[in-house]
Structure 1
Amino acid sequence: MLVRLTRVVRHPLTVLTAGVVVAAVAFRRAVPLALVGELVGLLAGLLSLQVGLLVGAVLLGVRVHRVVVGVGPRLVDWTRPRRVVAVRLVPVVLSVAVSAGRAPRRLWGAALCSAVAGVVTAVATMGVGLGFSIACTGAVAYALVPRKRPGSTSTGWLLTHLWRQTEDQAEDLAARAVDAVQEGDLVTASELAGELYDRHPGERSTAAVRALVLEAQGRYAEAMLQIMAMAGDMGQTPRQAASSFASLAGAAYTAIESGQVARELALGTADQAVADAETLGYPAYKLNGCRALRALVVGEPQAAIRLARLAADSCDDRLGRADDLATLARAHMVAGDNRAARAALAEAERIVPWWPRVVETRKRLDVGK
């Protein structure tokens, strides 16, 4: 409890809000009005950064994986193997996911466009309102601080770390293998993973790609062992370790649920991996899929239904979302509601019909007719 309270107090938004309140009192402005201005200014600053990144990526030919407009329940989405565009209920934010691929300097250029857009917006809003100006400037300034955490990379980190990098053949091979998995071409994905291992056996991306291909083939126990090796790497950063532990937990729970690994052998490992991932800063909401699988494994279908629905609603990665929906369908089946299971499975089949857990769930449902 004390750790969580400390995190809340030290959170940038808490610090920013305290600064707005102090400034409002010092300049004799209405505090509620200043706080409303803070919210609008914060959104404006974040939006300018994301718009700048998207425009820069399009102009420079950087891969854009996801574009998410808004927050809240999903209204509509366009899912393709290499890109997902989603619109949510409250269109107040924009989220853009890009990757460097073989040309990291192009991504550096897109990050520069993001920074320029943010700075220009912050300067242009000076004097619009106390809370608005402080929040917009604060959001942009915070984004320009170099940091890389589980699930997020700042514009400042991209600017300070990518400008010196040249073409990376390992990353290019890894990206091509991931694309092949996304497209369901597992033969090509397996060949690329093998080539990646032959050329770059010690790279982290090599292990990650091999684990992804194994999961796409339904070989969860082997994927778990591959990820365990990644998680045990003493040279990885805390951010990398958090992602490794989250992946390990998902693979372990899936291996147990599929019957490929005995529950008594892997459940403790998976539970500890979830705890370690969260301790290292992995976003809690991104672990809902793992927790849903655990609930399914230990015979708590109602908890699995709730967590899997949360996971599927918040996930914008097509493979991850299809997997969460398969978990949701299986949880409904255990709860005795095959009608709800078919609805969840139909949603998963619309996204990635060939994903192993989706295919296996369809077989189970068809047998149960």
Structure 2
Amino acid sequence: MQLKLNNIILHSLAFNTEGELKCYPRNEELANSQPVEELASELHRIYNAKPAKGFGYFKCAEEDNSRLPFEIELRKFIDEESNFVDFSSAASSLLVGELLKYDFVTQGILAFVHYNWMASDYLIVALLENKDSVMVTEQLDLNSSHYLELSKVQLAAKIDLTEWRQNSDSKRYLSFIKGRAGRKVSDFFLDFLGCTEGMDAKIQNAGLMRAVDEFCHVAELDADEAIQAREQVAQYCNEQIKEGSEIEVKDLSDHLADVSSRDFYQYASEAYELEDSFPADRGAVRKLTKYVGQGGGLSVSFDQKLMGERISYNAQTDTLTIVGIPPNLREQLTRRSNSEDDSE
């Protein structure tokens, strides 16, 4: 589905001659063009595909329960009390202020993209790396060029403006890319937005996967039916990920109606504290149909339906037996074995 671009602007965060981080704002929005629309669409696609995202909402100031600066500026834009240029410039200055409070200081291009997709309004705020590159001309000469590194974006957030306006009690209208190990570099980005974490999508996904496993047991599904149920759930979840949509537990329950007459939605609602809808986590979904494990230099992954057929596990000896290993692995092992024989 094609998104409808409403507003887009880029501002630069860079060090001045004294080594201080400054915001160098653009004084007008980017005019709609094919490259601009492609940038917006690609940023939307890459952001949605990011697996590690948190969800939250705008918090209030602790001392007087008032709104924090970013939300104030955003509300002024939404209420048409300011334009997109003024909003984005004010927000960029807020980000510079937060960056200076941390040891982690970075340059880059700050993008603000306001668009409509699937009947909802969204705002993406992302700090992008501006990379240098070399390109070959038609005359086979070399020219230097700059490009935005979209695929590696780590500092970005998306606000569902429709959800924010219509459901003030929501705890998940704002999503953000989570940082990696240790203290999250995204902390200052959340402070800049005035966001606090709400729903944990990983916990929701883990709960759903447990619910599916236990549902197969309480519904007394045989081995083949249980495999079919897990595969149907995985297929549904992967389709939602591909479409950029969320898991709808009631909709998922309808997909399981062919496997069991028992209502999965009713069972999950009674036994687990699941939201009616939440984003799918690709890693959790993968474990529905596969056994996956790694450690000590060993990594193993195989389809669950192979257990008891080509693969068996002996708990007493902690031994996994595989009958019929993949051809490419067999070739490597045979080559290594022959090489050792020749050296003797």
Does TM, scored on the shorter chain, surpass 0.5?
no
Q: Which has the higher contact order (CA 8 A, sep 6+)?
A: 2
Q: Which TM bucket (shorter chain)?
A: under 0.3
Structure whose residues are more often strand by fraction? 2
TM-score normalised per structure 2? 0.25
TM-score normalised per structure 1? 0.24
